[in-house]
């Protein structure tokens, strides 16, 4: 029984002690680190950017999973590659030429993902799904950690799984927002491969245990 990939988001970590958060992730069963990049335009919040990513790249070998909540992300694809990002995800809602953007991300050597907001139907991915390494389904409105999981996400995960199976796509399904130990099993059973969590992990008294709680969830 394969276990889900856990991608802790450092958005809920203590930014005055990022080393501690990275160290905890290094010692945990998480394989990825989720980096939430916000520009104050696409979402009503500003997080952190390239200098921070470049600095923490020196502290870990984990897969860097960057979630770009920025307008015109295609302007920065090369920069993200240069600072060591492995998986680069852009939002469907920011793109006019999504196919071109995905092509560029893959050509320069990263895995390419597309994120969809809670109001964006899965069906819109029909003509791009075969090009994707990852679909990120937002289970909250992007911009902040600590929000509640939106229930219709379970159906969207199932629809994405069906689309992947119908088309022979190799894309993995990542679910982001409001994930915790109580809903993880239902998310995995709906078809998710990767779980992102910020507040559940970094507000837990034992972040390593919290990561294990998510990691040890299996499909029936």
Chain positions contacting Zn ion, by CB under 5 A: 36, 67, 176
197 binds, among ligand DX5, Zn ion, none (CB under 5 to 8 A by kind): ligand DX5
Whether 17 sits among the annotated catalytic residues: the reply is no
Told to check if 30 binds ligand DX5 by CB under 6 A, we report no
Whether 193 sits among the annotated catalytic residues: the reply is no
Residue closest to 111 by CA, chosen among 73, 66, 162: 66
Site for ligand DX5 in 147-206 (CB under 6 A): 147, 176-179, 196-200
When CB distances to Zn ion are compared, the closest residue is 67
Told to check if 114 binds ligand DX5 by CB under 6 A, we report no
Told to check if 215 binds ligand DX5 by CB under 6 A, we report no
Residue among 4, 5, 9, 169 that touches ligand DX5 (CB under 6 A): 9
171 binds, among ligand DX5, Zn ion, none (CB under 5 to 8 A by kind): none
What's the 3-state SS for the chain?
CCCCEEEEEHHHCCHHHHHHHHHHHHCCCCCEEEEEEEECCCCCCECCCHHHHHHHHCCCCCEEEEEEECCCHHHHHHHHHHCCCCEEEEEHHHCCCHHHHHHHHHHCCCEEEEEECCCCCHHHHCCCHHHCCEEEEECCCCCCCCCCCCCCHHHHHHHHHHHHHHHCCCCEEEEECCCCCCCHHHHHHHCCCEEEECHHHHCCCCHHHHHHHHHCCCCC
Told to check if 113 binds ligand DX5 by CB under 6 A, we report no
Given 17, 61, 133, 176, the catalytic residue: 176
Rounded Cα distance, 215 and 74, in Å: 32
CB of 196 to Zn ion, least distance (A): 5
Given 36, 65, 133, 193, the catalytic residue: 36
Told to check if 87 binds ligand DX5 by CB under 6 A, we report no
143 binds, among Zn ion, ligand DX5, none (CB under 5 to 8 A by kind): ligand DX5
| Cβ atoms < 10 Å from Cβ of 61 | 7
For ligand DX5, the binding residues (CB under 6 A) are 9, 11-12, 34, 36, 67, 140, 142-143, 145-147, 176-179, 196-200
The residues assigned a catalytic role are 36, 176
């Amino acid at each position: 029984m394969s276990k889900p990939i856990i991608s802790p988001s450092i958005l809920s970590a203590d930014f005055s002690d990022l080393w501690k958060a990275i160290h905890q992730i290094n010692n945990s069963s998480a394989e990825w680190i989720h980096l939430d990049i916000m520009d104050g335009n696409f979402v009503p919040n500003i997080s952190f950017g390239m200098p921070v990513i470049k600095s923490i790249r020196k502290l870990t070998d984990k897969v860097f999973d960057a979630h770009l909540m920025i307008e015109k992300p295609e302007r920065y694809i090369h920069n993200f590659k240069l600072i060591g990002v492995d998986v680069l995800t852009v939002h469907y809602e920011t793109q006019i030429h999504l196919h071109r953007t995905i092509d560029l991300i893959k050509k320069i050597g990263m895995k390419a993902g597309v994120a969809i907001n809670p109001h964006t139907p899965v069906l819109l991915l029909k003509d791009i799904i075969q090009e994707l390494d990852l679909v990120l389904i937002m289970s909250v409105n992007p911009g902040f950690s600590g929000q509640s999981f939106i229930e219709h996400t379970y159906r969207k995960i199932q629809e994405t799984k069906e689309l992947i199976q119908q088309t022979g796509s190799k894309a993995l399904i990542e679910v982001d927002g409001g994930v915790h130990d109580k809903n993880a099993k239902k998310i995995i059973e709906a078809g998710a491969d990767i779980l992102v969590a910020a507040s559940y992990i970094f507000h837990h008294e034992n972040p390593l245990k919290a990561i294990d709680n998510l990691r040890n969830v299996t499909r029936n």
